């Protein structure tokens, strides 16, 4: 009797456990374990606590952008300009810091204000200009990068590592964990709570799932979309501030170029349906960790960085193919 109960219990509990975690997340966990085991066997220092922290710090900026990219994709939108927004915020934070007499809070405040402004501009162009989000933010990618280069004359600006606040952001630790990782976890937790446990989150999922039904339900679609893009701009500004802290100066392009592709790849790998209405922060964070572990492992094996770009592109394609297969949608160019 006891034996039957013990053997039967896991079988009953397993489906609920899998449902709570999600098949997509279980796949990511499995892939992450494989990557860690593979590179851990090739490099004795790969699984050391120091290297785990290095991976965590390396993915913080990408992680912040991936978290808000997840929100906008759930809405049914996209933001290709997040990397340029982070670069612009980085330049503004360093230049404002210098202009205000080495005042870190002034630099950070100016960066967040600019981030909010460019995010709202994206939202207004998309909503009121009736421009496709991909086209609007593609234009933003070029425009914000250009503004950052004009402001900085194409060069790194300022030097912030003589300031205790920037030093703390770049090198500080709380409870043995780097501050940068704490910032990512706090932002991710806040966005997760918003999406899962508030009316705002439920309305965001509704917008991406069926915008017509959402409109009929009385949801102000325009207000939500502009607000979401404003949120992206603010979090991108935080990423830009961390970029400034890590590099010691405002970076108009270096360090921010390519971040948009990494953020979209992480969101897609994490289970976001690119047509909207589906996704979550947990899956996105797992995908960010997987990308970071893979990149660190390849770098440790002295594999050319160009191959890392190839791997990243392939992962994005794989993620989209899996989504298409699961959704049952007809492939373009093939008979129904």
Is 75 part of a structural domain of the chain? yes
- Give residue 255's pLDDT: 72
Is 330 part of a structural domain of the chain? no
Is 27 part of a structural domain of the chain? no
Q: Which domain holds residue 128?
A: 48-296
Mean pLDDT over the full length of the chain: 88
Kindly report, residue by residue over 79-123, the tens digit of the pLDDT. Answer: 999 999 999 999 999 999 999 999 999 999 999 999 999 999 999
Q: Which residue has the higher pLDDT, 322 or 286?
A: 286
Degrees, nearest 5: CA angle 141-54-56: 60
Is 238 part of a structural domain of the chain? yes
Mean pLDDT over residues 41-45, rounded?
91
Total structural domains within the chain: 1
Other beta carbons within 10 Å of 308: 16
* Res 211 pLDDT > 60: yes
Pairing, β 173-174 against β 177-178:
antiparallel
Kindly report, residue by residue over 129-148, the tens digit of the pLDDT. Answer: 999 999 999 999 999 999 99
Report residue 33's pLDDT band, with 50, 70 and 90 as the boundaries. Answer: very high
Residues with Cβ within 8 Å of 185's Cβ and at least 6 positions away in sequence, in order, are none
* Res 2 pLDDT > 60: no
Is 33 part of a structural domain of the chain? no
Query: Considering the chain, what percentage of its residues have pLDDT values greater than 90?
Result: 66
CATH number of residue 246's parent domain: 1.10.3470
C-alpha span between 300 and 42 (Å, rounded):
9
Question: Residue 261: exposed, middle, or buried by beta-carbon count in 10 A (0-12, 13-18, 19+)?
Answer: middle
Kindly report, residue by residue over 286-318, the tens digit of the pLDDT. Answer: 999 999 999 999 888 888 878 877 877 887 787
Is 141 part of a structural domain of the chain? yes
Is 198 part of a structural domain of the chain? yes
Is 143 part of a structural domain of the chain? yes
Query: Considering the chain, what percentage of its residues have pLDDT values greater than 70?
Result: 89
Mean pLDDT over residues 1-15, rounded?
45
């Amino acid at each position: 009797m006891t034996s039957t109960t013990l053997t039967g219990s896991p079988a009953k509990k397993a489906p609920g456990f899998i449902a709570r975690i999600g098949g997509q997340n279980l796949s990511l966990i499995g892939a992450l374990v494989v990557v860690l085991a593979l590179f851990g066997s090739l490099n004795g220092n790969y699984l050391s606590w120091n290297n785990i922290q290095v991976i965590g710090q390396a993915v913080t900026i990408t992680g912040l952008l991936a978290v808000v990219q997840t929100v906008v994709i759930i809405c049914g939108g996209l933001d290709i300009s997040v990397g340029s927004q982070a670069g612009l915020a980085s330049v503004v934070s360093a230049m404002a810091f210098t202009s205000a007499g080495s005042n870190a809070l002034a630099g950070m405040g100016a960066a967040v204000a600019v981030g909010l402004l460019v995010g709202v501009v994206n939202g207004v162009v998309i909503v009121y200009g009736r421009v496709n989000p991909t086209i609007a933010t593609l234009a933003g990618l070029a425009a914000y990068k250009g503004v950052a280069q004009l402001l900085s004359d194409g060069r790194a600006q300022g030097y912030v590592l003589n300031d205790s606040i920037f030093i703390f952001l770049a090198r500080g630790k709380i409870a043995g964990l780097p501050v940068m990782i704490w910032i990512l976890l706090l932002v991710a937790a806040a966005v997760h709570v918003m999406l899962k446990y508030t009316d705002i989150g439920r309305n965001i999922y509704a917008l991406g799932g069926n915008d017509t039904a959402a409109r009929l339900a009385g949801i102000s679609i325009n207000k939500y979309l502009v607000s979401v893009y404003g949120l992206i701009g603010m979090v991108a500004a935080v990423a830009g501030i961390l970029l400034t802290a890590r590099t010691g100066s405002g970076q108009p392009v270096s360090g921010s170029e390519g971040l948009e592709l990494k953020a979209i790849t992480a969101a897609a790998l994490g289970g976001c349906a690119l047509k909207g209405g589906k996704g979550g922060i947990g899956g996105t964070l797992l995908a960010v960790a997987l990308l970071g572990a893979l990149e660190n492992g390849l770098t440790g094996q002295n594999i050319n960085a160009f191959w890392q770009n190839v791997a990243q592109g392939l992962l994005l394609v794989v993620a989209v193919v899996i989504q298409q297969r699961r959704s049952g949608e007809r492939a373009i160019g093939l008979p129904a």
